[in-house]
Structure 1
Amino acid sequence: MAYREVMADLTTLGRRIRHFRAEAGLTLDQVSDATGTASSHLSLIENGRREPRLSLLEAIAEALGVSAAALLDPSPPSARAALEIELERAQAAPAYRELGLPHLRPTRAMTDETLRAVVGLHRELDRRARRAIATPEQARQANTRLRHDMREVNNYLPEVEVLAQEATTRVGHHAGALTHRTVAQMADQVGLSIVHTDDLPHSARCVVDMDRGRIYIPPASIPGGHGLRSLALQAIAHQVLEHRPPEDYGDFLRQRLEAAYFAAACLMPRAASVAFLVEAKREHNIAIEDLRDAFGVTHEAAALRFTNLATEHLGLTLHYVRVSGDGTVTGAYENDGLPLPLDATGSTEGEVVCRFWSARRAFARRTRTTEHYQYTDTPAGTFFESTQTGTGNPDDFSITLGVPYRESRWFRGRETPWRETSACPDAACCRRPEDGLAERWEGKGWASPRVRSHLFAPLPHGTYPGVDDRELYEFLESHAGLDA
């Protein structure tokens, strides 16, 4: 590891210097004399306030009778030091600074019991802060901000593309379907092994035991299009991208997006995917189903990957919409001006799309094994759309990829005769009853709604929103016992 990377954790370095100085029975003044450095400067280094030059670090190590590598070891030198470091970091966090409370510096007179109590309070404050963050309203706001951010960069993350390319190149994969064996080799590259188990916590799709280097995933593909390769690759991504426990809900969503992006970029490598799509565009025959079949992925994964590459490498603006069987949006992206349904906060997830859009019209077909092609006239212009329907847990869903009319010439299905007109967000289009119907039936009809019970169920509170900490840690403990 590079010297500059190690120096990022000055607090641990300072504690290790202090620890070895105490073991050597030396005072700051004595180390100062031996190194020719002011004792005040050494004190700042021990308190993590100054970064020593490599030459000074080597001089300190020589004075203490240890190696420079021993000082640069990233682990705390003792259990007491670990508590002191955790307290230092907790007090540096924004949540504590906002309280305006004084900085508590642990002294020699402070007992370990007192220190553990103070650190325990900080842990509980942090846990409660995370619990407060994971509310549906804040989650929607964070998701909206992330969608806007990705629109600004055309849904393209070049840094993640490079990391995915490096990861696949190391195992010799460049094109075609990524095999499970190759994914296992990629996991091995970052010190992880894949273990299949059928007792995962009900709130987790996969679990990583970083202590033992294990990725736990189901023994068979789970419903909803989340393949085992993608699950494992997302777990690998968190290691490659050096993710840490999320600071807030927005951080959690961004990490999840980056991990999914990395997985897709491994399953559908940029160079091979772009070459495939450029050729399809040249032949005026772009089709998501072809991209899907060429790389052995789901239709949803192929559509999402297309949104990553279309603007940056093909010069196409586009939109992607995932809609459940009742018409509600469960995922969306656009940079072509499609008027997505939005609530007062600008969020589209949970809103109902126009009944004339391809995303809903596709459900009405008797034969739903092939894609549904349609032109849709909207207040923002005409769009060409291709929609594939599927069956998930618990409802049916549709995946729509669309482009402005002028771009339809590059796509298969452009000869379709299907054309619809949508006036949304005008309420008269979908939500307001036709003239006379309200007057005729108001007060004469009664309906028992299908209540989505999950809307009333709070997310399990934990380090990772939606994952129950107790279940997670009990799972890890049980498997650690099996491995012992």
Structure 2
Amino acid sequence: MQDLATLGQRIRHFRVGRGLTLDQLGSAVGIAGSQLSLMENGRREPRLSLLTAIADTLGVRLADLLEASAPNERARLEIELTSMQRSSIYASLGLPVLRPARSLTDDALRALVGLHRELARRASEAIATPEEARRGNTLLRQRMRVVGNYLPDIERVAEDLVRGVGHSVGALTHRSVSRMAEQLGFDLVHVDDLPHSARSVTDLANGRIYLPPASIPGGHGLRSMALQAMAHRVLEHDEPATYADFLQQRLEINYFAAACLMPLTQSVNFLREAKASRNIAVEDFRDAFGVTHEAAALRLTNLATSHLDMEIHFLRVGGAGGVSKAYENDGLRLPVDVTGSTEGQLVCRRWSARVALTRTNRTTEYYQYTDTPEGTFFESTQTGSSGDDEFSITIGVPFAQAKWFRGRETINRELSRCPDETCCRRPSGDLATRWSGKAWSSAKLHAHILSPLPSGTFPGVDDQELYAFLEAHAD
């Protein structure tokens, strides 16, 4: 529709320039003036032979009519207004369509287009809600399940860059990450005044990637932050147009960073050797590449299906039992809400992800077999803490594939009947009889429920803070 609108505007531009009316030009090319009007308004596509006749009559080349750009500023604004009034955003308002007639002044036209742009911008920001995030995450998880959580194009790009700085074995060093940045035209700069809503900031004008201070606890995470920032350039990302775009880009930059920190060839060789000796363990994988337990567990999900011929599931679960990240292609039935989203849903109390959080000794991985309505799964769980909350990281596989993993000899076994609520959601009959109507409690209010999400070009990042930071560091 946009192309037809531009074509129509170009026909009108040259017709008016020749001083012809619709009827005069229509008569010259053998059509009614009303038909020509439909073409100029972008509502009818002319045949190529008719376009050729119009061009000849107007004394211009056919290529002049078919150019993709509007013939002037007024035409560009009219095209944009017409296009925006066709959008679902405008249609949802139930307002009439305003035709940009000649009587509409240029200033009025600019004001209308400006209002439509602001309406579109605010609608784009408004979709960054918890509900939209859950829907987006659900669709993304479903797509990744289809491809086995494996993105070969990003694997190749990451491996080429790592090889380009001479890295071949062991943990990727900070120096190697810096050299990768230099090859891409960036300097890594550590500052202590990053916008509070940003993990890193990339100054494209001056070729700088700003990161938190190098001395922060757990500084190994800075490698991942730097690689994620570089990934936007390497993967040629544009500014996200929708929240779904933002989620897709976030997945891709995280994948790229993991593929650099744990390169494909090295990782697959390591895991195949572990499988051959029936000793796959996330903690060994983690230590071999100097990454976090969560990063190693997620990386295992990337490679397990495509390179180890096994199905797998991953869970990050908070101290209260809610899911914050999840992936499965092994048949485990994840807890979901009515939209199909699993983020924020409670996992069964019998699953390893929650049983491990009740243990007193959490220094080592916890192993467990879990019987579910979908079958028996072997699970390995490590716990940790972040801020004022604790969490668990779980990797699991179907029973038949437990033979490849360390900890398979465990005698820990639990029976889960979830999603049947009698499994662990409802109190027993005796407890319900004893306490029903005799207790009162106040729920803990999670701070994030009341915290507004900064809205801007990049969801969650405050534009004002971002641009003020860049201006302060521009010199």
Whether 1:404 aligns to 2:369 is no
Instruction: Write out per-residue CA displacement over residues 270-298 of structure 1, whole angstroms, 9 at most, x where no aligned residue.
Output: 01100110010000000111111111111
1:315 offset after TM fit, Å?
Answer: 0.4
Q: Distance in 1 between matches of 2:369 and 2:401?
A: 12
TM superposition shift of 1:110: 8.1
Q: Tell me, yes or no, if structure 1 residue 144 matches structure 2 residue 166.
A: no
Return the alpha-carbon distance in structure 1 between the equivalents of residues 265 and 77 of structure 2: 44
Alignment of 1:198-237 (within 5 A): 198-220=192-214, 227-237=221-231
TM-score between the two structures when normalised by the length of structure 2: 0.80
Aligned to 2:423: 429
**Cα distance change, pair 46–338 in 1 and its aligned pair in 2 (3 A):** closer
User: 1:260 maps to which residue?
Assistant: 254
Q: How far apart, in 2, do the equivalents of 1:366 and 1:192 lie?
A: 46
Query: For residue 47 of structure 1, what is the amino acid of its counterpart?
Result: S
Distance in 2, Cα, partners of 1:168 & 1:221? 24
Rounded Cα–Cα distance in structure 2 between residues aligned with 1:140 and 1:399: 20
Range with bigger deviation, 356-365 or 116-125: 116-125
Contact 1:84 1:115 in 2 (8 A): no
1:278 is aligned with what amino acid?
Answer: R
Q: Are 2:183 and 1:161 aligned? A: no
Q: Is the 8 A contact 1:376 1:383 kept in 2?
A: yes
The answer for the alignment partner of 1:41 in structure 2 is 63
User: 1:419-439 CA distances to partner (integer Å, 9 max, x unpaired)?
Assistant: 111111110111111013212
Say if 2:84 and 2:90, in contact at 8 Å, map to a contact too. Answer: no
Distance of aligned partners of 1:203 and 1:151 in 2 relative to their CA distance in 1, 3 Å threshold? same
Letter in 1 for 2:306: E
- Structure 2 distance, partners of 1:204, 1:300, is 21
Letter in 2 for 1:279: E
Provide, for residues 434-475 of structure 1, a one-character-per-residue CA deviation record: whole Å limited to 9, x for no partner: 013212211111112211121233311112111111111111
Q: Distance in 2 between matches of 1:170 and 1:478?
A: 34
Call closer, same or farther: CA 1:372–1:295 in 2, change over 3 Å: same
For 2:441 and 2:215, how far apart are their aligned partners in 1? 38
Q: 1:121: Cα distance to partner?
A: 3.4
Partner of 1:322: 316
Q: What is the aligned-residue RMSD (CA, Å)?
A: 3.1
Paired residue secondary structure (1:331): strand
Cα 1:89–1:225 change in 2 (3 A) is farther
Determine the structure 2 residue equivalent to 1:127.
121
Q: Which amino acid aligns with 1:342?
A: V
The answer on whether the counterparts of 2:84 and 2:116 sit within 8 Å (CA) in structure 1 is no
How far apart, in 2, do the equivalents of 1:453 and 1:115 lie? 44
Residues 384 and 405, structure 1, Cα contact 8 Å, conserved in 2: yes
> How far does residue 87 in structure 1 lie from its aligned partner after superposition?
9.3
Percent identity over the alignment is: 60
The aligned runs of 1:468-479 (5 Å cut-off) are 468-479=462-473
- Counterparts of residues 16-415 of structure 1 (less than 5 Å): 39-45=61-67, 47=69, 96=87, 99=90, 117=111, 120-220=114-214, 227-415=221-409
Residue type matched to 2:372 in 1? T
Contact (CA 8 Å) 2:158, 2:259: kept in 1 or not? Answer: yes
Is the contact made by 2:220 and 2:291 (CA closer than 8 Å) also made in structure 1? Answer: no
* Deviation, structure 1 residue 228: 0.3
Give distance in 1, aligned partners of 2:240 and 2:397. 35
Deviation string, structure 1 residues 369-428 (Cα, Å, up to 9, x no partner): 110011111111111100011111231111000000100000001111111111111101
Q: List gaps (5 residues or longer) in structure 2.
A: 1-5, 7-54, 92-96
* 1:455 maps onto 2:449 in alignment: yes
For 2:370, what is the secondary structure of its paired residue?
A: strand
**TM-score under structure 1 length normalisation:** 0.79
Contact residue 130 and residue 463 of structure 1 kept, 8 A:
no
- Residue 409 of structure 1 aligns to a residue in which SS? helix
Note if contact 1:324-1:398 (Cα within 8 Å) is conserved in structure 2: yes
Larger radius of gyration: 2
Determine helix, strand or coil for the equivalent of 1:369: coil
1:351: how far off? Answer: 0.8
